[in-house]
Chain A
Amino acid sequence: MSSLLATEPARSKPQAGGQPIVNDFSIQVATMNGSGSQTSNNTLMRAIFQMGIPVSGKNLFPSNIQGLPTWFTIRVNKDGYVSRKKEIDILVCMNPETAVEDVKALESGAICVYNAPLRLNKIRTDIEFFEVPFAKLAATIPDVDPKIRKYLANMCYTGVVAELLHIEMAEIERSLQKQFKSKVKAVGINVTAAKLGIDYAQKNLPKLTRYRVERMNKTAGKIIIEGNAAAAIGCLMAGCTVVAWYPITPSSSLPESFIPLARKYRHDPQTGKATYAIVQAEDELASIGMVLGASWAGARAMTSTSGPGISLMSEFVGLGYYAEIPAVIFDIQRVGPSTGLPTRTMQGDLLKAAYLSHGDTKHIVLIPGTVQECYELAIEAFELAEKFQTPVFVLSDLDLGMNNWMADPFPYIDKPIQRGKILSADDLAKIKAQGKVFERYRDVDGDGIPYRTLPGTEHPMASYFTRGSGHNEKAIYSENPEDYVHNLDRLAKKMETARTAVPTPVVSGNTNADVGIIACGSTDSPMQEAIDQLSAHGVKIEYLRIRAFPFTQSVQTFIERKKRVYVVEQNRDAQLLKMLKIEHVPEVALKLRSVLHYNGLPVDARSISDEILKQERRIPGAPVYSDNAGEGHGRQLSELERKTPGQMPGLPTGSKTCPTP
């Protein structure tokens, strides 16, 4: 476990003697979509980051342009736990529509800053309220457009919160300069607005004694980035030349991050011409078609989409598998089909990505768990797609892809780009000189991976005809059962080779522990915290994070070494667990237990640790785990169970037990 992730209280509690809690709380800002609060929220987050304090920012937003409620959550944690925290410690209420519900959902003792006309202080007596007339404050800024003034009211709350929490004004200013870059005027009026908030708080509000920030040195040299932007940098460095995509939340920001990078770094210095093509296609069917066409002709090509797009790509991906064409497909997972929760997170496409399409198909799936892995596995995806001449999925999700995460700067990849088994005209001439021939689908090397040539190769032996399931080794049309079986078996062998080449799992924790945990993707961040919470209860754990499918041998070995293994994932149907069952012998499957979270919000540490503790306590002969997790660790189980989980009004918990589905 990373040294950054020391043990920590599951929930911030006031220190004895009325000492404030330093660098350990969550802020939630409730606004209306389209009110320009993003800048204010990012300013707060970045200012805290610049003060050296570990921080993250999550945007819980609706499928809407303007008017519907949206929440931005900032978690500040001195020990580096930056996944979603269940409880809100400081609420900023700017949205009259949700204000009452938002306040009702707070835990006793929380802080609430609210816009003056709301009169929220009448609702509860156990919350510490700070009333601020934001609109009136913003109205005092001279010479601004009324539309801008509305945004500036949001910047006023940045100032109020900064003052209450002791966030340094200099860092607020730096943060604004970073966001507005050369727009000097914009920086100026925003600084003015923030200062108005600070002044107001100094003169009119009582001091906040419960929480504050204090400068640390834990973010020096670190970056803050969204997973999608990280993946876009990966695509840039991987030498991706063709991008075909169709807009869909939460994936659009990946290609949209690639565009400015390509414009800056991928134009020929002599001619000024582009060494890349980006196509906003008519739909996902066309996106994947273009990717396959481009890859077939030799480009490094990718598309980026989410679940609905993956469904549409199903047929083409099957063709890609059978015709053996590389493709990189980013799937930034979200909740279910059509309208409803398309802007909420989920790990709902695991099964679909692994086995997408008709007939016998199986695909390489890479699952980044951190923003650095979004970058690294993007590069790896292109390498594997070309090496194995097959579609490769990169499964990220909304939480990882669209939210802000801290990371070390990404390392430059020194490993040369490998284009896989491509034969040039010269190679073909040599083959011919040896009296041999080129056969597109022949397993020459015994690894199941055939050789290919690119259209345009000037050699009489180069051409072949690409088609679906029915072809022999020479790529000649064939409905012969033997040819079909031979080809299918070779494809299976190719996937077996892939098993040894995909990224291995990340294993941490106690090697001798009876209890294992398997998770993947964005579950990693809360999992680190949950494991420490469980340790505090005396549960010894070894944790394996899967990063690729087909599963490497180490996954089976890990399960074999454990008495029981909790598979923690963010979907209802235990998709990862099902895949583990499909791919392994029944003895392995019997050890698997399920911990599920599926309410559309990123899973938080306590939802995981509570559930595992609950299940552990039901195991006959399991150790007696402590109720009290010791000083500052965990909490009473009885207290847990009566609590209404989640801070989003009206949403069910979505966490449940499912021992072996």
Chain B
Amino acid sequence: MPDTMSPPAKPIPMPRPEKTNRLGLAADAYKGSESTLCSGCGHDSITSQIIKALFETGVSPYSVAKLSGIGCSSKTPAYFLSLSHGFNAVHGRMPSVATGANLANRTLNVIGVSGDGDTASIGMGQFVHLVRRNTKMIYIIENNGVYGLTKGQFSATADMGSAQKKGDINEMIPIDCCGLAIELGCTFVARSFSADMKQLCALLKIAAHHPGTAVFDVVSPCVTFNNHEGSTKSYKYAKDHELPLHEIDFIEQFEPQAPVDIPAGEVREIEMYDGSKIRLKKLGEDYDPVNRKSAIDTLEKARRENLFLTGLLYLDKTRRPYAEQLNLIDEPLATLPQERVRPPKKALDEIMTALM
């Protein structure tokens, strides 16, 4: 160091011991490259909660495969989990790629990030069939009601009567991906708001523990094309109309189980297959997320009242994930050795004899 250099203005703080998770990894191990999205984009908040949730849950970044379609949302997998393999697929068709990856290696933790255009328009067919199969993955819809990368066209989730930046009014009925997913028998359906960090993080943790398809619709305002007066996907509108169904806590199975001191009837506890617990604290009316009919009715009521309902909308622990439906072997198909995938010569001889 040259002598002429002046001493630092402030004393250098002593490095604090870095906080690590149960795998001994620091939060940095869950970070990605720097975001290139617009400053203030809701998607970046979601990215930060993905990092936080996966760090706290202690998912190994090596076990994660992160996939996306095309659009602003679909750029985000580059911004988290650099240690994980990523795949930017084609527009609307990430679900099929994710399904293939899951079948090739069922031990992978697959995270898909999509947008409202990617899911509700070009990718509708694949979204619907992903849900039908119940492939194990987290499917996040970063929902802002517009096509950002192509400069602000309405998407199919734009609410009826909402205004485009240029003033055009959407006359069409929106597609509610959550309502649709519940209708299709999706085994995990949640909705949140990118600015509601605590809820977002808790729901992501639950999704990470879900053995089937976890559809997670997050309203994530587009600051450039859909954050104006007249938009129903703006920060202001979402804040004014958000109605959380419950306060959510997620207790990992490895965490000390704190005793519940809330009066009975105020809290619902749902145990996940691995022993972790979802704790839902009642806020308004009692809501039972394992009741499919009540989930559909509640969503419909909120729609009529222009309320933006958030929380764990629906959970079904009974349906088997796709890999189990297919009776797949526990270890990855991808790395099975030759002797387990190429039948012996006597098998071929048997097949040939039958053809003679």
Contact A463–B83 (Cβ < 8 Å): yes
Which of B13-21, B174-182, B188-196, B342-350 interfaces with chain A?
Answer: B342-350
Contact of A455 among B84, B125, B126, B128 (CB under 8 A): B84
What's the A-B contact tally at a CB cutoff of 8 Å?
Answer: 223
Cα distance A299–B338 when bound, in Å? 12
Contact of B333 among A272, A276, A290, A323 (CB under 8 A): A276
Nearest B-chain residue to A453, judged by Cβ: B85
B255 at the binding interface (Cβ < 8 Å): no
Contact A299–B86 (Cβ < 8 Å): no
B88 at the binding interface (Cβ < 8 Å): yes
Cβ contacts B38-59/A at 8 Å (1 or 0 each): 0000000000000000000000
A296 at the binding interface (Cβ < 8 Å): yes
Contact A274–B329 (Cβ < 8 Å): yes
Chain A contacts with B in 599-614, Cβ cutoff 8 A: none
Contact B65–A242 (Cβ < 8 Å): no
Cα distance A289–B93 when bound, in Å? 7
B302 at the binding interface (Cβ < 8 Å): no
Given contacts A233-B348, A316-B90, A477-B78, are A292 and B97 in contact (CB under 8 A)?
yes
A86 at the binding interface (Cβ < 8 Å): no
Given contacts A268-B329, A455-B84, are A285 and B96 in contact (CB under 8 A)?
yes
Cα distance A272–B330 when bound, in Å? 11
Cα distance A621–B157 when bound, in Å? 73
Nearest B-chain residue to A416, judged by Cβ: B338
Cα distance A22–B82 when bound, in Å? 74
Cβ contacts A272-304/B at 8 Å (1 or 0 each): 111111110111011111111111111111000
Given contacts A274-B329, A454-B335, are A297 and B62 in contact (CB under 8 A)?
no
Cβ contacts B321-351/A at 8 Å (1 or 0 each): 0010011111011111010111101011101
Most buried by A among B65, B98, B108: B65
State how many angstroms separate the Cβ of B149 from the closest Cβ of chain A: 14
Cβ contacts A461-478/B at 8 Å (1 or 0 each): 011111110000000010
Residues of A within 8 A of B67 (CB): 293
Most buried by B among A456, A457, A465: A456
Chain A contacts with B in 317-339, Cβ cutoff 8 A: 319, 323
Given contacts A274-B329, A290-B100, are A223 and B352 in contact (CB under 8 A)?
yes
Residues of A within 8 A of B104 (CB): 241-242, 293-299, 301
Residues of A within 8 A of B128 (CB): 282
Cα distance A453–B83 when bound, in Å? 12
Cα distance A291–B102 when bound, in Å? 11
The size bracket of the interface on A is 35 or more
Residues of B within 8 A of A297 (CB): 65, 100-101, 104-105, 108, 332, 334
B5 at the binding interface (Cβ < 8 Å): no
Chain B contacts with A in 301-315, Cβ cutoff 8 A: none
State how many angstroms separate the Cβ of B22 from the closest Cβ of chain A: 16
Contact of A456 among B63, B100, B103 (CB under 8 A): B63
Contact A271–B334 (Cβ < 8 Å): no
Contact A224–B355 (Cβ < 8 Å): yes
Nearest A-chain residue to B88, judged by Cβ: A467
State how many angstroms separate the Cβ of B90 from the closest Cβ of chain A: 5
Contact B99–A460 (Cβ < 8 Å): no
B224 at the binding interface (Cβ < 8 Å): no
Contact of A266 among B62, B108, B341 (CB under 8 A): B341
State how many angstroms separate the Cβ of A297 from the closest Cβ of chain B: 4
B87 at the binding interface (Cβ < 8 Å): yes
Nearest B-chain residue to A285, judged by Cβ: B93
Residues of A within 8 A of B343 (CB): 236-237, 265-266
Contact B85–A462 (Cβ < 8 Å): yes
Cα distance A458–B104 when bound, in Å? 17
Nearest B-chain residue to A293, judged by Cβ: B100
Contact B326–A277 (Cβ < 8 Å): yes
Residues of A within 8 A of B85 (CB): 296, 453-457, 462-466
A244 at the binding interface (Cβ < 8 Å): yes
B107 at the binding interface (Cβ < 8 Å): yes
State how many angstroms separate the Cβ of A221 from the closest Cβ of chain B: 7
Cα distance A455–B105 when bound, in Å? 9
A225 at the binding interface (Cβ < 8 Å): yes
Chain A contacts with B in 199-237, Cβ cutoff 8 A: 221-225, 233, 236-237
Contact A291–B100 (Cβ < 8 Å): yes
Contact B87–A268 (Cβ < 8 Å): no
B356 at the binding interface (Cβ < 8 Å): yes
A107 at the binding interface (Cβ < 8 Å): no
Nearest B-chain residue to A375, judged by Cβ: B348
Residues of A within 8 A of B329 (CB): 268, 271, 273-275
Residues of B within 8 A of A233 (CB): 348, 351
Given contacts A221-B356, A275-B341, A409-B352, are A293 and B86 in contact (CB under 8 A)?
no
Chain A contacts with B in 121-160, Cβ cutoff 8 A: none
A315 at the binding interface (Cβ < 8 Å): yes
B270 at the binding interface (Cβ < 8 Å): no
Contact B103–A462 (Cβ < 8 Å): no
Cα distance A301–B323 when bound, in Å? 16
Contact B129–A296 (Cβ < 8 Å): no
Residues of B within 8 A of A239 (CB): 336, 338, 341-342
B89 at the binding interface (Cβ < 8 Å): yes
A579 at the binding interface (Cβ < 8 Å): no
Given contacts A239-B342, A274-B329, are A294 and B129 in contact (CB under 8 A)?
no
Most buried by B among A271, A277, A283, A412: A277
Contact A456–B107 (Cβ < 8 Å): yes
Residues of A within 8 A of B334 (CB): 241, 294, 297-299, 454, 456
Contact of A296 among B97, B336, B341, B351 (CB under 8 A): B97
Nearest A-chain residue to B98, judged by Cβ: A293
Residues of A within 8 A of B351 (CB): 233, 261
Cβ contacts A301-319/B at 8 Å (1 or 0 each): 1000000000000011001
Cα distance A416–B126 when bound, in Å? 36
Residues of A within 8 A of B356 (CB): 221-223, 409
Cα distance A261–B351 when bound, in Å? 9
Cα distance A271–B329 when bound, in Å? 8
Cα distance A288–B336 when bound, in Å? 22
State how many angstroms separate the Cβ of A414 from the closest Cβ of chain B: 9
30 contacts between A and B (CB under 8 A): A224-B355, A237-B348, A241-B333, A242-B333, A265-B347, A271-B330, A272-B327, A276-B333, A281-B96, A282-B128, A282-B129, A286-B99, A290-B99, A293-B103, A293-B104, A294-B103, A294-B334, A295-B100, A296-B100, A298-B104, A319-B90, A412-B349, A454-B105, A456-B108, A458-B60, A463-B83, A463-B84, A464-B85, A464-B86, A466-B86
A interface residues, Cβ below 8 angstroms from B: 221-225, 233, 236-242, 244, 261, 265-266, 268, 271-279, 281-283, 285-301, 315-316, 319, 323, 409-410, 412-413, 416-417, 453-460, 462-468, 477
Closest 5 pairs (CB-CB, A-B): A293-B100, A289-B96, A298-B334, A239-B341, A299-B104
B interface residues, Cβ below 8 angstroms from A: 60-63, 65, 67, 77-78, 82-90, 93, 95-105, 107-108, 125-126, 128-129, 323, 326-330, 332-336, 338, 340-343, 345, 347-349, 351-352, 355-356
**11 other A-B residue contacts (CB within 8 Å) besides A294-B100, A299-B103:** A239-B342, A241-B333, A272-B327, A285-B93, A286-B126, A290-B100, A293-B96, A293-B97, A417-B342, A456-B63, A463-B83
